[in-house]
Structure 1
Amino acid sequence: MTSSTADLWHHYGRTRVGTDREVPVAFYWNWGQDAGPGPEILGDLTEKCVGDLGAGAARHAAYLATRHHPAQVIAVDASPAQHAMATDLYGHLAPRLRIVHSDVVNHLHASAATYDMLYSVFGAVDFTDPGKLLPAAAAALRPGGRLVFSTLAHYLSGKMAQPDVVHADIPAKRPDGEAATMRRWVLQEHVWTKALDAAGFTQIDVDVLPATGEGPRTAGTLLVSARLPK
């Protein structure tokens, strides 16, 4: 993200920061952030280099950094506002937690064979062209490294996910409150599998986590795991 690009994440999470400044006590992958599998999906992270792609306020990254003994968790986000919030909340957790302001694809290209684990919880994987992000993630992982991410199983409207690598324009706000749109990739299971395979990943596994509530903004979740060959 450059200084000339509007920060479409400027408003996201600001209200919560005022009342919730603690490291979370739980880690969930599902859309509702209230049930289902947790960090055990990632396996043993002891002394491993872990990257959170599109980390936002770095709440998930802070959880892993303080509870799972990694060598380092690197929380990457392109939004100046999200980076500032993450630094304010969890900057004191350095050096175990490193908070990086960068376009995720650029960061991954500059981090060849650095990571043992990359993950995204409705983060950069949702909002970045898979044709660019997945090969960059593969290049940033060490042999045998893993990519794990959760993403929408369908649109929040209930509309079916895309049968091809096609984005949708979803509502967003500029820092001044003016309406805008951003791109989001909501893809069917087989589309993610094909894209991961094309990027060089193997052992691709997709689980469907059902919605835990009702209403117009609830959704099922795809929990996707893939590994690089050793």
Structure 2
Amino acid sequence: MTTSTADLWHHYGRARHVTDRAVSGDFRWNWDQSGGPGAEVLGDLAGAHVGDLGAGAARHAAHLAVHHRPGRVDAVDASPAQYAMATDLYGHLAPRLRLVRSDVVGHLHAHPDSYDVLYSVFGAVDFTEPRALLPAAVAALRPGGRLVFSTLGHYRNGAPAQPDVRHADIPARTPEGGATTMRRWVLQERVWTELLDEAGFTRISVRVLPGGAGARAADALLVSGFRSS
């Protein structure tokens, strides 16, 4: 007997999907998407092969495809619902934007030495065992390629990030609306640095993005590392 994993992202972003269908003119790394650094953190993307890990509805990927002249952006997400929304919103941007419904780790293993830039905006890096994802990412990058991701600097309730590689079970909903949980990794700066180093990244940096004020305020970490050339 085979079983399928419930799509815990089935409900996420549906309201916005109806009301906001434009390609954004902006790209932000901080939690509330209100300020801080933008796509310049990724470097010059002209002609580059870029991968968005856990792309959701592909809003960040669409921005890069339209405004930064990459060779191609692969927006990778395992959720059928998010893939369907991305296809509806931005399918017309092919072939510069390629929408990929796949487990991120599996996709990276299937494409070694393929990417110039990989990134995640509170995406797959937050929700995937990092000791599986980070080695897969470094192998999928070309020599000299970079990984950049933003992740929570602490839990949304204010509790501190974990001092070791440990996930938390956070609330989620099944497609039918039932209560369940999903795993999220909220780790200290030192832990992320050690994980990237162990995976084979070099020139690792971590920057704190303050959360500001308001109900959606949360500090974030902007983490980057390079595959050695």
TM-score band, normalised by the shorter chain? over 0.9
Within 2, Cα distance between the matches of 1:209 and 1:117?
Answer: 21
The corresponding residue for 1:164 is 164
Q: 1:14 to 1:3 in 2, by over 3 A?
A: farther
Contact 1:50 1:117 in 2 (8 A): yes
Q: Percent identity?
A: 70
SS at structure 1 position matched to 2:92: helix
Structure 1 residue 229 and structure 2 residue 224: aligned? Answer: no
Look up the SS of the partner of 1:63 in the other structure. helix
> AA paired with 1:53?
L
Letter of the 1:38 partner, please give it. Answer: G
The count of corresponding residues between Structure 1 and Structure 2 is 228
The answer (yes or no) to whether the contact 1:35–1:212 under 8 Å persists in 2 is: no
Q: Is the 8 A contact 1:32 1:212 kept in 2?
A: no
Q: CA RMSD in A?
A: 0.9
Structural mapping, 1:21-32, within 5 Å: 21-32=21-32
* Equivalent in the alignment of 1:138: 138
2:122 alignment counterpart: 122
Q: CA deviation at 1:3?
A: 6.7
CA displacement 1:155-179 (0-9 Å, x = unmatched): 0000000000000000000000000
TM-score (norm 1): 0.98
Indicate the residue corresponding to 2:89 in structure 1. 89
Q: Alpha-carbon deviation of 1:125?
A: 0.2
**1:107 and 1:213 mapped to 2: Cα distance?**
37
Which amino acid letter does the alignment assign opposite residue 57 of structure 1?
Answer: A
Q: In the alignment, what sits opposite 2:147?
A: 147
Q: Which amino acid aligns with 1:96?
A: R
**Counterpart for residue 75 of structure 1:** 75
Structure 1: which amino acid aligns with 2:145? G
**Post-superposition shift, 1:218?**
2.1
Q: What residue is the counterpart of 1:206 in the other structure?
A: 206
- Return the offset for 1:25: 1.3
| TM-score, normalization by structure 2 | 0.98
Q: Is the 8 A contact 1:52 1:74 kept in 2?
A: yes
1:9 aligns with 2:13: no
Give unpaired runs (5+ residues) of structure 1: none
> Residue 162 of structure 1: SS of its match in structure 2?
coil
Can you list the C-alpha shifts for 1:14-54, whole angstroms capped at 9, x where unaligned?
00010100001100000010100000101100000000000
Could you say which residue in structure 2 is the equivalent of 1:176?
176
Q: How far apart, in 2, do the equivalents of 1:213 and 1:52 lie?
A: 28
